Chains A and B, each alone.
Chain A
Amino acid sequence: MSATKSKLNEFEKKNPFNTPSGYFERFTFEMMSKLPERAEAPANVVSIWSRMKPLVYMAAMFCGIALMFKIFTSNTGAPDVQSGLTFTSPSEIEDFYTYYEDQLAIDNYRQSLFIEQDSDSK
């Protein structure tokens, strides 16, 4: 590297290029006269939708989260307090099952009657 530097140092760091006389003095004036016409930069008009978009997206996201939360919590097997079937004592449960057994017996009896009637008619 030092050899390289010394080799380069043999050359004067002088600018070997020149320009026509008065070039830089004239340049600004000539350049400004050549500038193309430019329309005013359009003002940045922000539409109402553009302004509201983040808020709308955020609201939609919260609605989605709330919906998912509701779906997941409703499937956790928690007791359904809205069904209307509430028992306050073991005797009430027993009465409930007795009632259903009676209903089932009556249904079976009726069904057997229909079957007999059908076989008689044939």
Chain B
Amino acid sequence: MEFYNEEDVLRQLRSEDLSVQKKGFEKVVAFYSEKLYWQIRKIVLSHEDANDLLQNTFIKAWMNIHLFRGEAKLATWLYKIAVNECISFLNHQRAMSQVSIDNEADVFLLNRLESDTYFDGDEAQMLLQKAILTLPEKQRLVFNMRYFDELPYEDISDIVGTSVGALKASYHHAVKKIEKFLTSQD
């Protein structure tokens, strides 16, 4: 991969020349696509949906790149777009299939997970995913970012727009619920 320097890329993105902007954006896509993909995939679980949402995220970013003022990190801005895309997608899908998040698990996502051909986890990992699906949406987001990606609370706070204190509490509750679910499955 070509060496990625965010300052140079941002300079290219702010250029008035569209072709220079496009070159800068290509570097952004190359650098962030994998990171964003996994973030999206952990939310929507299926590869097909994750692929569509990743493309939508980059299209939105490209169309609104002039709104990026550099106050936050580019990564945070992109994560924010991706998370919002995922939440809109899930809400839309649930409304379409008239399923809601019940107390047991998110039925829509559970079906997507079980039918996904690009899941190669063992039984234990499937169980953990099912446990994660019992969490409310925001707790699930926080748990995935903290547990799997080990993102600092400050970064998660920038992405989901919640205070660090509230995130810590949210993660604590998420872990407790998952433990309860796993214990009940023993």
Give the B-binding residues of A (Cβ under 8 A). 1, 3-5, 7-8, 10-20, 23-24, 27-28, 31-32, 34-36, 38, 40-41, 43
Assuming the A-B contacts A11-B128, A15-B148, A17-B119, are A35 and B62 also in contact, with contact meaning beta carbons closer than 8 angstroms in the complex? yes
| Cβ distance B6 to chain A, nearest Cβ, rounded Å | 17
Residues of B contacting A: mostly = helix
Q: A17-B118, A17-B121, A28-B30 are in contact. List 10 more A-B contacts (CB 8 A).
A: A4-B179, A7-B178, A8-B179, A10-B124, A27-B37, A28-B33, A31-B29, A31-B33, A35-B58, A35-B59
7 pairs, CB–CB < 8 Å, chain A vs chain B: A5-B175, A7-B178, A8-B179, A16-B119, A18-B120, A31-B33, A35-B59
| Cβ distance A103 to chain B, nearest Cβ, rounded Å | 81
Q: Which of A16, A27, A41 is B129 in contact with, Cβ under 8 Å? A: A16
B38 adjacent to A15 (CB under 8 Å):
yes
Stretch from B18-26, B96-104, B134-142, B156-164 forming part of the interface with A = B18-26
Q: Which 3 A-B pairs have the closest CB atoms?
A: A16-B121, A16-B125, A4-B179
B18 adjacent to A38 (CB under 8 Å):
yes
Assuming the A-B contacts A4-B176, A11-B128, A24-B37, are A40 and B22 also in contact, with contact meaning beta carbons closer than 8 angstroms in the complex? no
Chain A residues whose CB sits within 8 angstroms of the CB of B116 once the complex forms: 17
Q: Which of B29, B42, B128 is A32 in contact with, Cβ under 8 Å? A: B29
Of residues 10 through 49 on chain B, the ones whose CB sits less than 8 Å from some CB of chain A are 16, 18, 22, 25-26, 29-30, 33-34, 37-38, 41-42, 45, 47
The contact size tier of chain B is 35 or more
| Cβ distance A81 to chain B, nearest Cβ, rounded Å | 61
Give the A-binding residues of B (Cβ under 8 A). 16, 18, 22, 25-26, 29-30, 33-34, 37-38, 41-42, 45, 47, 51, 54-55, 58-59, 62-63, 66, 116, 118-122, 124-126, 128-129, 147-148, 172, 175-176, 178-179, 182-183
Inter-chain CA distance A8–B146, complex, in Å, is 13
Inter-chain CA distance A28–B125, complex, in Å, is 30
B120 adjacent to A16 (CB under 8 Å):
yes
| Cβ distance B39 to chain A, nearest Cβ, rounded Å | 12
Q: Which of A7, A20, A35 is B22 in contact with, Cβ under 8 Å? A: A35
B183 adjacent to A31 (CB under 8 Å):
no
Inter-chain CA distance A5–B41, complex, in Å, is 24
Chain A residues whose CB sits within 8 angstroms of the CB of B129 once the complex forms: 16
